[in-house]
Amino acid sequence: MANSIRKIGVLTSGGDSPGMNAAIRAIVRTALYYEIEVYGIRRGYQGMIEGDIFRMETTDVANIIGRGGTILKTARSKAFMTDEGRRTAFEQLQKHGIEALVLIGGDGTFRGAVEFFKQYTIPAIGLPGTIDRDLSGTDYTIGFDTAVNTAVEAIDKIRDTAEAHDRLFIVEVMGRDAGYIALNSGIACGAEDILIPELVTHIDQVLKRIDYDERRKKTVHVLVVAEGDDFGGAAELMRLVKERFPGIDTRATILGHIQRGGSPTYADRVLASRLGYAAVNALRAGDTQVMVGIINDKLVYTPFEQVGKENAHISDDLIEMIRVLAV
């Protein structure tokens, strides 16, 4: 049975990810359908503290489903980590009569919601918005599919020039704590090696594989490394490869923030829409302090306290597959 919430606020927080706008659109239109007023909060928790809040109508979300970034903008807020900051944020919500929140972001966003709820019991539902796919409680996060496709397109182009010049390319992709982008883009592009934070990098083994390829006259090498790999990223890896193999033309490319931008793929648009719609209905049903996710194509609701950056175990079979296919 629907509860009595009549005004909700929506914000995006932390790193931006393609599909956030599609989620905002779904939240606004679902809420308005059920005659719930929606207030956009710009720049995440920092905007909440500063009162950067405005009422949203269906026209505010017209034609944004295919846009990257977030129309609500995003930020990280040190002030919200303090009691004073959270008190000011609560007072701003009271000024606008906001009774519940929908939060689109990552684990930092949800940790903030937990502390906020302890003090002020404002109902909140979270949506997983991060390209890194580093949250438990969902098979995919908003923006991950787009980020991987962006990386794949770039790596494919890099391989073309690697083949033209018989070069070794080291491509660094995003993933400070999780290697899902590196793992998936590397597999999709046939990388000769993939280095990720979840596995300890044994540099001697990496160099041995390069040496083996050289001795069998394989002149093209593409190595994909996550920025958070324990060895230190593309620059340090290139330095060692050049030192060990001075005769190999070696280059490093850091893809960086291009992975965060761009028009979201259909998968991210559909995922964000499903989650945004479900978030509003969760609030109507009286749920709070949970993140909406999708596991095995079914909606699931995971308490914020159980959602976090957990380095998932990478299957040994998958790692072996990568090595076999790179031969």
The catalytic residues are 132
Q: Give CA–CA dist 244/203, Å, rounded.
A: 11
Q: Give CA–CA dist 307/318, Å, rounded.
A: 25
Q: Alpha carbon of 32 to those of 7, 20, 65, 278: distances in Å?
A: 10, 18, 17, 14
Q: Give CA–CA dist 8/104, Å, rounded.
A: 14
- The Cα angle at residue 303 between residues 94 and 300, in degrees rounded to 5: 110
Quote the distance between the C-alpha of residue 49 and its chain's center: 24
Q: Give CA–CA dist 82/89, Å, rounded.
A: 11
Strands of the sheet containing 193-195, edge to edge, are 193-195, 221-226, 168-173, 250-254
Cβ count near 106 (within 10 Å): 24
Secondary structure element (H or E) that encloses residue 37, with its range: strand 37-41
Residue 251, SS3?
strand
Place of tokens 């393609």: 18
